[in-house]
Every structure is written in structure tokens, then in C-alpha cells.
Copies of this chain bind each other. A is one copy, B any other.
Amino acid sequence: MESKHGEKTVLDPFGTSFVADYERLYKEFGIEPFQPLLSKVPNPSVYMRRGIVFGHRDFGRVLDAMVKGEKFAVLSGIKPTGEFHLGTLMTVREIIYFQQHGAQTFYCIADIEAYEDNKIPFEKSEKIAVDNVADLLALGFNPEKGYIYRQSKENHVKDLAIIFGRAVTLATMKAIYGERHIGLYLAALIQAGDILLPQMEEFGGPKPTVIPVGVDQDPHIRFTRDLAQIFQKKHGFILPSSTYHKLMKGLDGSPKMSKRLMNYFTLHDKPEVIAERISNAFTGGRATIKEQRELGGVPEICPVYEICLFHFVEDDDEIIKTYHDCKTGKLLCGEHKKQTIDIVLKFVKEHRRKKQKFVDKARQILQVE
């Protein structure tokens, strides 16, 4: 098939229909391809192996530290606006991967951003945060080897925001965030503070740090790297590194998951809601069964295939088989949806069971009554 840029994409069970767009990111924005580093990465994660993590900035220095057993950090976080969904699941798995490979690990609850951007009062985001952290722990984050914090309670990130403010013009802010209220710009400065927090003296000083994010977050990474550069002399910052993962499509086939479209599910939707969303999902199937048996499906554009590829089928052989069975017309959409619903519901059930055990611990970590 052809991408919208007209370039041919190769047949690839781990590919998507918009590879050409990712190529553009390499060329125009200076994001480097992840693939050439892959062979050096110890036990690459599912996302790395499947090219879902497709790009990076300066990941080499983090990889060096990993391989040599030197200190490095990983930071990610969540805006406490609602339940864990497949997007948050992704970053959590990424930081757990780095935690298990020796990183000093930071998980930020972006409650200031939730307040400034989504008008969520701190009393409310506090409750959501407890729920989010319980999810985090259930997914395997080790709190003994990681620092989980709320922006509103971590004065260092506010102080970094104050330091950085002097160097940020209105033009820069508008270019990245558009014409917004001051609180939103302040939240952006604080997020830059989050990214450089692992390098503060109190946390052991400058070190390679990786921020695993969706590629849509790159403007913020570049913004923070610019600030790290400006304040490098005084604070000794090492420019933060990033890895970029592809963004998941909505279940309706639209390019993004969106609350408004209800085209995704959370880990806490009722089983019947999840089943219904998957049942009703757009697929890469053909107009008729006959056609599909003859021509095969198009997994590259199929959100059901994508949630399996990204999240729910860990075995590479198994997902490759699914891809080929679809391509050859052997596996039809109805059947694949049924399989997927089973896998997802099994995962969700098990996750919820585990999570219950972590609610008190989450409360304790966040110091919430």
C-alpha cells in the first residue's frame, strides 16, 4: 500500500501505515531513528523490538550508561485527570523497563498541569493520583527504587521553573503552546523542571536522563533541552535524552484516541464496555468475507491489530502469526476481535485484582489521608 506521501512502505508486521510521516520527523525535526541502536540495547522492550519506539534524541549517552552500569535516570509521568488508559500504560511500561535496567526512576504526577490546563482542583487530582499510582504499582513499578511525586508538593520543580522563566520569551511560548493563559505557560516551565529534576544535587547531580514520550511531546523535549543548554554552565545539566513512541489510533480508526470520540477504553471501564468498544471498532477488513478471504485484511490500518501489537500480545511469534493470518485472509475480523476481547479482559481482570492491593501503598507514597 502507499502512504499519503506516496512512498512505498515495506511489508512489516511491526509497521504502520504512516511510516513516511515518521521519516519526515527524522529529516525535518532532527529526531534520530532508533533502529540503528537496537542491537546494542540490553533486552530491548516489546516497544523497541517492534519499532513502536521508533526515534530518539541523544539516547546514545543513556545507552552507554546502561551498558557500562553507570548512573542514569528515567522520568515520565501522568496528568491526573482520569483513569489509566492505553497511552499511560505505555509510558509506565517504558519507565519500568528502564527501572529494571538500573535507572534511577522518577514518576511525576503533573497536578499543576492538570490544574492549569484542565481546571482540576488539587483536592480532586489528589484522589485521581492515588488511583493512578495504584495502577503504576500494579504494573510493576518498584517504589523502593523510584521517586513518585506530585508537582505541587515538590518545591524543586517550582524553583527550576523560576530559574528558567528568565530565559523564555513570549514568542517561544506562543510557538509551542499557542496563545494561552499564563498558568499554562507556568505549567510548561514546571514540566521542564520535572525533566531536569533528576539532575539536581539533591538527587545525585547531573546524569544522562531519558524521557520516554509519544512523539507529539517532542516540542516540549526540545524546549527543555534548550533550557538545559542555557543553564548548563551554572547548573551542570546534561541535555536530557528522549525516546519517541508512535501514537495509537482511536478504535474508530481516527488518528488519535480522544475522550470526546470515546474511541478508546481505560483499564477501569466495565468489561462489557471494553468488549463493546472492541466489537464496534474499525478494522482493516474488507467489504465482504469473500473479498477478505481472497485479498486478506490490512492490519497496518487496523486499531484492533494495533492494540494487540502495542499492548496485549507479548510474544513476537504470536503477533507475527496474527499479522500473516490476517494478510492471507485466514483470520477474519470477527474472530480476531473475539480473541482480542478475551486477551484484554483477562489482562484487565488480573490488573484490577493486583491493583486493589496497592491502594494503601499509593496513599502512603503520596501522603494522602
Contact = CB atoms under 8 A, between A and B. Distances in A.
- Most B C-beta atoms less than 10 A away, residue of A115, A162, A168, A181: A162
Contacts of A115: 162-163, 166
A344 B164 CA distance: 43
Contacts of A185: 165, 182, 185
A173 interface: yes
A165 B170 CA distance: 15
Interface stretch (A81-89, A151-159, A306-314): A151-159
A165 B189 CA distance: 12
A323 to B, nearest CB: 47
Given A158-B158, A159-B152, A116 B165 contact: yes
A276 to B, nearest CB: 37
Nearest to A189: B182
Contacts of A165: 116, 181-187
B186 A180 contact: no
A309 B181 CA distance: 45
A169 B187 CA distance: 14
A221 interface: no
A156 to B, nearest CB: 11
A112 interface: yes
B162 A186 contact: yes
Interface in A108-151: 112, 115-116, 119
A137 to B, nearest CB: 27
A92 interface: no
Contact of A170 (B116, B169, B181): B181
A161 interface: yes
B158 A152 contact: no
Contacts of A161: 186
Interface in A160-215: 161-170, 173, 179-187, 189
Contacts of A182: 165, 168-170, 173, 182, 185-186, 189
B170 A183 contact: no
Nearest to A159: B152
B186 A186 contact: yes
A131 B14 CA distance: 66
A184 B182 CA distance: 11
Given A116-B165, A152-B162, A179 B170 contact: yes
B189 A162 contact: no
A203 B121 CA distance: 22
Contacts of A180: 170
Contacts of A159: 152, 158
A68 to B, nearest CB: 35
Contacts of A162: 112, 115-116, 152, 158, 183, 186
A179 B112 CA distance: 25
A209 B144 CA distance: 46
Contacts of A184: 165
Nearest to A170: B179
Given A152-B159, A158-B155, A166 B189 contact: no
A2 to B, nearest CB: 43
30 contacts: A115-B163, A115-B166, A116-B162, A152-B159, A155-B155, A155-B158, A158-B158, A158-B162, A161-B186, A162-B186, A164-B183, A165-B181, A165-B182, A165-B185, A165-B187, A166-B181, A166-B183, A167-B181, A169-B181, A169-B182, A170-B170, A170-B180, A170-B181, A170-B182, A173-B182, A182-B182, A182-B186, A182-B189, A186-B186, A186-B189
